[in-house]
């Protein structure tokens, strides 16, 4: 298997087609494009031969946790193709993105997960904060939402602790 991390603007049309197929296979009802709400900044891609077997989108942004601004990587649309599951691919990508985050001065990695098992096994914690974000649907801004989000998970990389305050995503929900 070969892993590569590329900025979104360097992804070619052929890879976008493979991404669209993988995202559609892994997430029933996913739009027929390569992003859900907004384009990620980076994409971590895992290839086996010519087949794309895993994808992790990375948002790089500032957020606010209570009164504390944090530089984060947000994980979005993380998936592994059915034939490549249970082979450690997801954990390998999480380790790689954590190393990149640490070397880049990122304070935390944040994500929203329906199934937390792989994240819990890799040192993430479930947090229950009220979150505030920009509501986007089909490339249109609808307003700002603020409500509790139960699927939020975080891995702190800096010395600070995750707080109980409102998490202002300073942008869309990824």
pLDDT tens, 12-52? 999 999 999 999 999 999 999 999 999 999 999 999 999 99
Q: What is the mean pLDDT of residues 84-103?
A: 96
Contact indicator for 113, 153 with CB cutoff of 8 Å? yes
Token pair, residue 60, equals 């790089």
Taking the alpha carbons of 108, 56, 134, 30 in that order, is the dihedral positive or negative?
negative
Q: How far is CA 82 from CA 52, 89, 118, in A?
A: 11, 11, 15
pTM (2 decimals)?
0.94
Q: What is the mean pLDDT of residues 46-63?
A: 97
Q: Return d(Cα 108, Cα 63) in angstroms, integer.
A: 10
Q: Is the pLDDT of residue 150 over 90?
A: no
Q: What is the DSSP string of the chain?
A: -EEEEEEGGG--HHHHHHHHHHHHHHSTT--SSS-SSS--SEEEEEEETTEEEEEEEEEEEEEEETTEEEEEEEEEEEEE-GGGTTSSHHHHHHHHHHHHHHHTT--EEEEE-S--HHHHTTT-EE--EEEEEEEEETTEEEEEEEEEETTEEEEE-SSS---SS-EEEEEE--
Q: Is the pLDDT of residue 130 over 90?
A: yes
| Amino acid 11: pLDDT | 97
């Amino acid at each position: 298997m070969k892993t590569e991390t590329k900025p979104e603007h360097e992804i070619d049309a052929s890879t976008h087609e493979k991404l669209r197929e993988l995202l559609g296979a892994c997430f029933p009802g996913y739009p027929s494009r390569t992003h859900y709400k907004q384009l990620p900044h980076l994409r971590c891609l895992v290839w086996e031969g010519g087949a794309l077997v895993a994808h992790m989108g990375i948002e790089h942004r500032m957020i606010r946790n209570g009164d504390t601004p944090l530089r984060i990587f947000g994980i979005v649309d993380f998936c592994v193709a059915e034939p490549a599951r249970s082979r450690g691919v997801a954990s390998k990508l999480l380790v790689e993105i954590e190393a990149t985050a640490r070397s880049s001065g990122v304070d935390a990695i944040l994500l929203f997960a329906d199934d937390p098992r792989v994240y819990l096994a890799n040192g993430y914690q479930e947090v229950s904060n009220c979150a505030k974000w920009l509501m986007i649907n089909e490339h249109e801004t609808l307003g700002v939402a603020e409500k509790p989000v139960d699927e939020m998970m975080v891995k702190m990389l800096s010395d600070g602790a995750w707080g109980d305050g409102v998490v202002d995503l300073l942008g869309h929900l990824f």
